[in-house]
């Protein structure tokens, strides 16, 4: 019995199965017309698979950049808090310190990646007012603003990369669905051309369960859900 393709098969196995069909029908005038469309679908599977892997790599790189910018902003916030703490005689209850850090330094420097942007931006307006009369705030505020801007840009790039990965994943699944469709279509067409000749029909289709030269990890076939980037 001819085996069927399914979306849980990796791109390598699917592409190899289609290529084997192309090879088996090549030169056989009775069925060789089925080869070109199969080759087109195989190319789409390979392209979509590569684009998905590239999208995963791009998203990971964007996440590393965002984490780096988040860490830099954390360090700036801690440096600012330390400088102000020292200027206040190392007293956290000093009105000057409390004016800039009403909920303590940790409230500014310890939020997680996706909360950090909102948190730091909630402080900047008050720090901008304090900068007119506090030299430490005036010294550190431009650095904090630059760090916040860099984080905002990095998070926007991460969001774009995550959307790109979701799109690439969906395109990969669509390419696999097209491969399944052409496989079934080819099988039905060959049966139509050789009714009752099971041996000849199956001669054009490989044994997929034999696997590929290099095993490929199977991937879930569920479509992507949402576009929210991962939170470390």
Residue 166 lies in a domain: yes
Taken in order 7, 12, 17, 21, is the CA torsion positive or negative?
Answer: positive
To the nearest whole number, what is the mean pLDDT of the chain?
90
Q: Which domain holds residue 40?
A: 11-210
Which pTM was predicted? 0.80
Residue 223 lies in a domain: no
Number of domains comprising the chain = 1
Is residue 224 a contact partner of residue 166, using CB atoms and an 8 Å limit?
yes
Is residue 193 a contact partner of residue 19, using CB atoms and an 8 Å limit?
no
pLDDT reported for residue 232: 40
CA–CA dist 117, 22 (Å, integer): 54
Distance from chain centroid for Cα 217: 18
More confident residue, 201 or 1: 201
Confidence band, pLDDT 50/70/90 cuts, at residue 1: confident
pLDDT reported for residue 208: 87
Confidence band, pLDDT 50/70/90 cuts, at residue 66: very high
What is each CA distance from 107 to 118, 122, 232, in whole angstroms?
12, 11, 18
Residue 30 lies in a domain: yes
Residue 19 lies in a domain: yes
Residue 6 lies in a domain: no
CA–CA dist 190, 197 (Å, integer): 10
Question: Could you report the per-residue pLDDT of 124-162, keeping only the tens digit for each?
Answer: 999 999 999 999 999 999 999 999 999 999 999 999 999
Residue 92 lies in a domain: yes
């Amino acid at each position: 019995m001819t085996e069927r393709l399914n979306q849980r098969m990796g791109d390598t196995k699917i592409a190899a199965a289609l290529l084997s069909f192309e090879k088996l029908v090549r030169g056989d005038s009775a069925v060789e017309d089925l080869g070109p469309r199969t080759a087109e679908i195989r190319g789409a599977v390979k392209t979509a698979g590569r684009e998905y892997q590239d999208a995963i790599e791009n998203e990971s790189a964007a996440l590393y950049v965002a984490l780096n910018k988040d860490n830099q902003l954390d360090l700036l916030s801690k440096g600012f808090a330390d400088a102000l703490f020292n200027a206040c005689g190392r007293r956290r209850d000093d009105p000057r310190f409390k004016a800039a850090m009403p909920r303590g330094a940790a409230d500014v420097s310890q939020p997680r990646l996706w909360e950090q942007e909102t948190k730091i931006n909630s402080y900047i307006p008050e720090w901008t007012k304090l900068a007119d009369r506090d030299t430490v705030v005036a010294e550190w505020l431009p650095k904090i603003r630059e760090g916040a801007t860099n984080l905002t840009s990095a998070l926007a790039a991460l969001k774009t990369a995550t959307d790109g990965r979701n799109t690439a994943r969906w395109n990969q699944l669509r390419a696999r669905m097209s491969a399944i469709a052409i496989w079934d279509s080819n099988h039905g067409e060959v049966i139509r051309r050789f009714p009752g000749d099971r041996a000849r029909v199956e001669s054009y289709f490989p044994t997929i369960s034999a696997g590929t030269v290099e095993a490929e990890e199977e991937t879930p076939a569920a479509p992507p859900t949402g576009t929210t980037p991962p939170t470390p």
